Amino acid sequence: MNTKSIIFYLKTCCFMVFIGRAYQHLFWDAPFRSLLWDQDLLAPLVMRFLNMNWQDYVTDLRIDNTIQCLIKFNGLLYALCAIISLIVNSDSKKWMRSVLFLGGCSLVILSLLITKEKFYHTAMFFEHSIQFGTPFLLYFFLKNKAMIWLLPKLKIIIALSFICHGFYAIGILYPLPENFVTMTLNILPLNEVTAKEFLFLIGIIDFIIAIFIYVPKLSKITLIYASLWGIITALARIISGIKYGFSLEVFHQYFYLTLYRIPHGLIPLLACYIINNINERLNGVKFSAVQKIN
């Protein structure tokens, strides 16, 4: 895999994340109200700067429309970033790379808002590492184009995403999410107890993946498994939704959830290809050295 192929791969992942989030913000909702309707945090500011009591603030339709406009604006930003993701390259104008960087920052903020909405679970933030990390990797890889630089960063965001997913799947530090169980029941012929046992096993495997990707002899096969599992969990959203009956409305409701999760499978595959490329180059150097000695 050459540099152009890696850039294309990263651009595809960025597009998936941005277009999925754009769809979410433009047609559905985003957790901005988890911050903007936090009474303990914002009530003093609302009274001081807006001269409103809290009840008037949260029931004012103008305020709600402003929040909705903010959500739509972020959706437009993500849509622009999705387009830029496809056309940006190392020779692109600075503003294009700056918008890409801004989109990555917005994804970080979105992950923080999701974390707040989920009772400040740290794992919730880092479970999104692949999603908000990919735009930054593309941004900096366009500058240095060094596979040796890229690979450790890919492993970090993969490990963080799988570890945090594992915390939720085993249901020890954090409650097992109901949607995990629901998706499992909708897709597999299991009862609820068996589904929870299955998810616990998957959680243990998530931790094993995060370790084995750093073991040279096991890293490639582990990354291939991680790639398959990432694609499966992404497709699980739409497959679980179709369980209730296929229609355009169901597709509209669930497909974007799959879109921004597709990189969970593509990024491990990219890391595997880079490892294979580096190994081939090292073997080529060793072979050349042996030939010179002989």
Residue 6, C-beta contacts closer than 8 angstroms, at least 6 positions apart: 141, 147, 150, 270, 273, 274
Q: What is the pTM of this model?
A: 0.94
pLDDT digit string, tens, across residues 54-83: 999 999 999 999 999 999 999 999 999 999
To which H or E segment does residue 292 belong?
helix 263-293
On the question of pLDDT at 153 being above 80, the answer is: yes
Q: In the predicted model, what is the mean pLDDT of the chain?
A: 94
Mean pLDDT value of segment 87-94: 92
On the question of pLDDT at 246 being above 50, the answer is: yes
Mean pLDDT value of segment 201-224: 97
Task: Report how far residue 218's alpha carbon sits from residue 209's, in angstroms, rounded to the nearest whole number.
Answer: 10
Question: What confidence score (pLDDT) does residue 172 get?
Answer: 86
On the question of pLDDT at 238 being above 80, the answer is: yes
Alpha helices in 188-262 (DSSP H): 192-212, 219-242, 248-259
Mean pLDDT value of segment 109-120: 96
On the question of pLDDT at 288 being above 60, the answer is: no
Q: What are phi and psi of 208, to 5 degrees?
A: -65, -40
Token pair 């941005």: residue: 18
